[in-house]
């Protein structure tokens, strides 16, 4: 339910309604729009009717949500969500870049990539320690050792770290090492896992599934939000279509659609969307031009010998080029590529 106030409603009138919501222990969010204040509310909203909130001074309208993904919707919060992770703001005016290898393979390789992508302007280090592989015989990730390496590379470079958690039994473990918990495309509708990462209280990067519609996807985000964890970021990473030339089909239009329907930040991963490094650059430009709040890019020092996703991994040189090409796209929209001045601990980077 949303409570829309009259443009001329006074602060005291709005505060009075807010106080009632607090007394009744509702979850709510207050936003300021060009037309006035809106408060989105979830819970047993019949109570609000009983209390005649619609007749309280300053209130113009009390209306039910028109969409099933309540807290994820713009109706709940007309103001965009900005997720703050350490020094990095995701969903604000900067376009943030998450970059790193598909899988964490070795200390040397990870540190080399971390230094390079940081130098190019990325503020978030990515890397998989638990890998969702199509074949059970493919490299499955280094597990805890991979998490330790990620933490060490993150501490050395001052980068924020994001990594995937695949299993409810590993949420606590991954949360000890990572700043952001990633839910992969294949687990987007693993509702128990969504509840568990929500309850961890950590920021969550929720990737779109290969086969999820945007409405289903926003309902997945709703599972996390329903736990009270509001730090949710979305990521379009390509969907499965009849086209086979690329690994998936990047749904660039999901970016403006999600911005209209939801207040959550939406990033784009052109690496998994295309499956081929040569298409990653143009799709990264397209994503930023479409208004994406950030990018996730796979980078490997030696893609030909990567343990996973080598064909779609950029060399550090190509990543430098990507950052140079994307910056003006962000600038054209009055944004800038995130280059948060980040601390360095003795890596000389």
User: Which of Mn ion, ligand PEP, none has residue 116 at its interface (CB below 5 to 8 Å by kind)?
Assistant: none
| Least spacing, CB of residue 255 vs ligand PEP, in Å | 16
Contact call for residue 309 and Mn ion (CB under 5 A): yes
Contact call for residue 300 and ligand PEP (CB under 6 A): no
Helix (H, G, I), strand (E, B) or coil at 178: coil
Residues in region 250-289 near ligand PEP by CB under 6 A: 269, 272
265: nearest Cα among 100, 115, 84, 108 = 84
Residue with the CB atom nearest ligand PEP in the bound state: 184
CB 21, CB 42: distance < 8 Å: no
Contact call for residue 222 and Mn ion (CB under 5 A): no
- Total residues contacting ligand PEP (rule CB under 6 A)? 10
Return the number of the residue (92 or 311) whose C-beta is nearest Mn ion. Answer: 311
Q: Which residues contact 268 (CB under 8 A, 6 or more apart)?
A: 235, 236, 237, 250, 252, 255, 283, 284, 287, 290, 292, 294, 295, 296
Return the number of the residue (38 or 296) whose C-beta is nearest ligand PEP. Answer: 296
Contact call for residue 102 and Mn ion (CB under 5 A): yes
Give the dihedral of Cα atoms 332, 333, 334, 339; nearest 10 deg: -80
Is 249 exposed, middle or buried, given 0-12, 13-18 or 19+ CB atoms closer than 10 A? middle
User: Which of Mn ion, ligand PEP, none has residue 335 at its interface (CB below 5 to 8 Å by kind)?
Assistant: none
Contact call for residue 164 and ligand PEP (CB under 6 A): yes
Beta-carbon count within 10 A of 155 CB: 14
Contact call for residue 237 and ligand PEP (CB under 6 A): yes
| Least spacing, CB of residue 28 vs ligand PEP, in Å | 33
| Least spacing, CB of residue 183 vs ligand PEP, in Å | 8
Helix (H, G, I), strand (E, B) or coil at 11: helix
130: nearest Cα among 108, 162, 157, 88 = 162
Contact call for residue 29 and ligand PEP (CB under 6 A): no
The residue ranges that bind Mn ion (CB under 5 A) are: 102, 309
Interface contacts to ligand PEP, rule CB under 6 A: 102, 128, 132, 164, 184-185, 207, 237, 269, 272
């Amino acid at each position: 339910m949303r409570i829309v106030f009259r443009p001329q409603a006074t602060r005291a009138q709005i505060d009075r309604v807010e106080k009632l919501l607090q007394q009744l222990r509702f979850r709510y969010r207050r936003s300021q729009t060009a037309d006035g204040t809106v408060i989105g509310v979830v819970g047993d909203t019949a109570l609000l009717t009983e209390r005649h909130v619609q007749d309280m001074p300053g209130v113009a309208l009390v209306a039910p949500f028109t969409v099933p993904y309540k807290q994820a919707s713009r109706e709940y919060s007309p103001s965009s969500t900005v997720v703050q992770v350490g020094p990095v703001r995701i969903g604000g005016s900067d376009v943030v870049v998450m970059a790193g290898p598909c899988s964490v393979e070795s200390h040397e390789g990870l540190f080399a990539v971390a230094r390079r992508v940081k130098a190019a302007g990325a503020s978030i280090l990515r890397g998989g320690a638990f890998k969702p592989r199509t074949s059970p015989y493919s490299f499955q990730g280094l597990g805890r050792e991979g998490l330790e390496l990620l933490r060490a590379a993150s501490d050395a470079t001052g980068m924020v770290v994001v990594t995937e958690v695949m299993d409810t039994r590993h949420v606590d473990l991954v949360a000890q090492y990572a700043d952001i918990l990633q839910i992969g495309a294949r687990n987007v509708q693993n509702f128990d896992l969504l509840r568990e990462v929500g309850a961890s209280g950590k920021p969550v990067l929720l990737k779109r599934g290969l086969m999820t519609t945007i409405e289903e996807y926003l309902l997945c985000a709703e599972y996390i939000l329903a736990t009270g964890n509001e730090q949710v970021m979305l990521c379009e990473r390509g969907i499965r279509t009849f086209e086979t030339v690329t690994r998936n089909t990047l749904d660039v239009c999901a970016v403006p659609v999600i911005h209209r329907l939801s207040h959550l930040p939406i990033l784009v991963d052109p690496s998994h969307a295309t499956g081929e490094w040569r298409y990653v650059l143009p799709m990264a430009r397209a994503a930023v031009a479409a208004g994406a709040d950030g990018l996730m890019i796979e980078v490997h020092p030696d893609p030909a010998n990567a343990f996973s996703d080598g064909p779609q991994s950029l060399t550090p040189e190509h990543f430098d080029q990507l950052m140079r090409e994307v910056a003006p796209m962000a600038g054209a929209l009055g944004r800038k590529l995130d280059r948060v001045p980040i601390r360095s601990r003795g890596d000389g980077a």
